[in-house]
Amino acid sequence: MNFAELGLAAPLLQALDGLGYQTPTPVQAQAIPAVLAGRDLMAAAQTGTGKTAGFALPLLQRLAADETKVGSNCIRALVLVPTRELAEQVNASFRQYGEHLAVGCYAAYGGVSINPQMMRLRRGVDILVATPGRLLDLFRQNAVKFKEVQALVLDEADRMLDLGFADELDTLFAALPRKRQTLLFSATFSEEIRSLARGRLRDPLSIEVSPRNSTAKAVKQWVVPVDKKRKTELFLFMLKDRQWQQVLVFVKTKKGADELVARLQAKKIAADAIHGDRPQASRLRALESFKAGEVQILVATDVAARGLDIDDLPQVVNFDLPIVAEDYIHRIGRTGRAGASGEAISLVCADEAPLLGAIEALIKQTLSRDEEPGFEPDHRVPATGGAAPAPKKPKKPKTGGGRGVPGNWVGFDDGARPARRNTGRGKAPGRGGAR
């Protein structure tokens, strides 16, 4: 099947050809004809499978076919997203796909001045991509009117609920026209989202192109048990030992992100952070520097797990496990995108065993554990979800040493692997090399 068979117009096919898109993904093949037909839709698919094109392409075509000029401060289609990064990404996709169409699009989100957004909306916008909080600010100041809205898209609606936008969504639903097309696209659908859909969508078509809460098969996942206090040391070692070129690292807190970046920069490693306390301009600058290869390590909180679209990202590291198990799926979905392979490595300490168990229960698989010689934890990570303990290695003569990464290690100027600490378990140092 090709995109022409889905009923897309020539200007869209021209844009897709320029982008190198040849064959629609499963979610696109099912969603595009349904959206073109005006159906309400619930679509669940793994991250990186092309959900954005699944709603952007048919919406562009429908709006282009309706030549009605949008009114002042009005919008014809509204796309709600949970984060600023995702707003920028989705808006950029609309611009790319609609390059040869006379359909305007714009993104509005917090963290930047509201005045330019109000000025732009005065001329009217065909497609507005927005975060719920900033959209409500604009609505309350009469900068945006919903009377001409024909279509509403909730992209990553489960994440919006996780971030506490439930009240904002209720307010927005009450303000929108009842007669509209409503589309829900996400990698996962919680029961809350299914309940929301039952009350807001009209006879929706349901599309699930992969099992619920599944992870991409192209992503190899495993756990490295380690004591909490040695996580940074282990990450530094693996970075050097595996010769990772670019890594997206997820941490639990904003403070943790800043602290890890400071430790990396002290070792002369190019690193930057993305989290909610950083100004939007700084977040965008960090992301663009990472995409350009100027930053080797990008450290992010879960605010960035949705909306980071990075080509050829080989590794994602969970420095801390997420509190919400579903966020694990979105984190590791940053690698292994569009059919590429990837690795997702989680550094797990004993305190995180319940979080690991929740993740394994969600994805219905037990993640393999692979201890790193020299970093075996003193506090063992309890078995979770039937996880088997790490296999015992044959005993070999102990070697001397007992040191980890040298405290004065700067960048990658020391070639030594950390020697196995003497823990009395009688295991041998040894294995190395990239997986």
Global confidence as pTM: 0.64
User: Using 50, 70 and 90 to split pLDDT, how confident is the model at 284?
Assistant: confident
Give the number of C-alpha atoms closer than 13 A to the C-alpha of residue 62, restricted to the C-beta side.
21
Average of pLDDT values for 327-353? 81
CATH code, residues 213-435: 3.40.50.300
Q: Is 113 left (phi over 0), alpha (psi -120 to 50) or beta?
A: beta
Query: pLDDT tens digits for 224-263?
Result: 999 999 999 999 999 999 999 889 999 999 899 999 999 9
Is 100's pLDDT higher than 70? yes
Q: What is the pLDDT of residue 406?
A: 42
pLDDT score for 222? 92
Q: Smallest Cα–Cα separation from 15: which of 43, 75, 56?
A: 56
First-last CA distance in the chain: 36
Other residues' Cβ atoms within 10 Å of the Cβ of residue 259 = 15
Q: Which one-letter amino acid corresponds to residue 305? A: A
Chain position carrying tokens 């992969």: 210
The per-residue pLDDT for range 85-94, each reduced to its tens digit, is 889 889 999 9
The domain defined by 3-208 carries CATH number 3.40.50.1980: no
Which pLDDT does position 308 carry in this prediction? 64
**What are the tens digits of pLDDT across the range 197-233?**
777 888 889 888 765 545 556 788 999 999 999 999 9
Average pLDDT over the chain, rounded to an integer: 82
257 neighbors 301 (Cβ within 8 angstroms): yes
**pLDDT reading at 13 higher than 90:** yes
| Alpha carbon distance 334, 337 (integer Å) | 7
Q: How many CB atoms are located within 10 Å of the residue 328 CB?
A: 28
Kindly state the average pLDDT of the residues 303-308.
60
Domain boundaries, the chain: 3-208, 213-435
Question: Can you state the angle between helices 231-241 and 254-266, rounded to 10 degrees?
Answer: 50
Please provide the size of the chain in residues.
Answer: 435
The reply to whether 213-435 shares the fold of 3-208 is yes
